[in-house]
Amino acid sequence: MDGKKARKLLAEAELIHPEAVVQAALDRLAGEVRQDLAEKKPLVLCVMTGGVIFCGQLLPKLEFPLDFDYLHATRYGPETQGGKISWRMAPWTSVKGRSVLVVDDILDEGITLAAVKESLIRLGAEEVRLAVFADKLNGKQKPIAADYVGLTVPDRFVFGFGMDVDGAWRNLPAIYAMKED
């Protein structure tokens, strides 16, 4: 998407959660994680690429010892109904015997995050907790729930704070929804 089209899309979008609300949710969520994981020296895994903004702002607020790595997993082909994922990059750090916190931008249908969690448990993680900044209220039965949720978003195409629209606007400090036709 070229810059002109991206600016037009943003100008026509609906602001769902302004920056102040996003930051307050980030602070609250960080407090919940600190309370649960501060004594466990967890391995924090950022899910690329959407989780980068959320994870990058969450980590400095945790204020306890942790290890950090990332993963890149995506659904692929006709097997998506089975929850199979394609690992573009598995974590380099061993999860065996660890408390693991997986950080991602949004819980939409939950298929990929469910498969990621299952894979990490199969690799020997002691526990796997999921932190998502946005949980989409899509009315669908999801195979997994997040342990930590920043905000809920409507069942619309949303972007900002890590979520993109055709590659654009991942860098916005607020969350927007595409204009409804």
CATH number of the domain residue 101 falls in: 3.40.50.2020
Cα diameter, the chain:
49
Per the structure, the complete domain to which residue 151 belongs is given by 45-161
Flag whether the pTM goes above 0.95: no
Residue type, 46: C
**pLDDT tens digits for range 35-76:** 999 999 999 999 998 899 999 999 999 999 999 999 998 764
Q: How many domains does the chain have?
A: 1
Please check whether residue 16 lies inside any domain of the structure. no
**pLDDT tens digits for range 100-139:** 999 999 999 998 899 899 999 999 999 999 999 999 999 9
Count of other CB atoms within 10 angstroms of residue 145: 13
Record the tokens describing residue 130, joined without a space: 């999921």
Cα dist from 75 to 22, 49, 80, 108, 118, whole Å:
28, 14, 6, 13, 14
What does the pLDDT average to over 8-32?
97
Please check whether residue 156 lies inside any domain of the structure. yes
Please report the beta strands in 22-162, taking only residues with DSSP state E, as ranges in sequence order.
43-47, 67-75, 85-89, 99-107, 127-137, 148-154, 158-159
Please check whether residue 143 lies inside any domain of the structure. yes
Please check whether residue 168 lies inside any domain of the structure. no
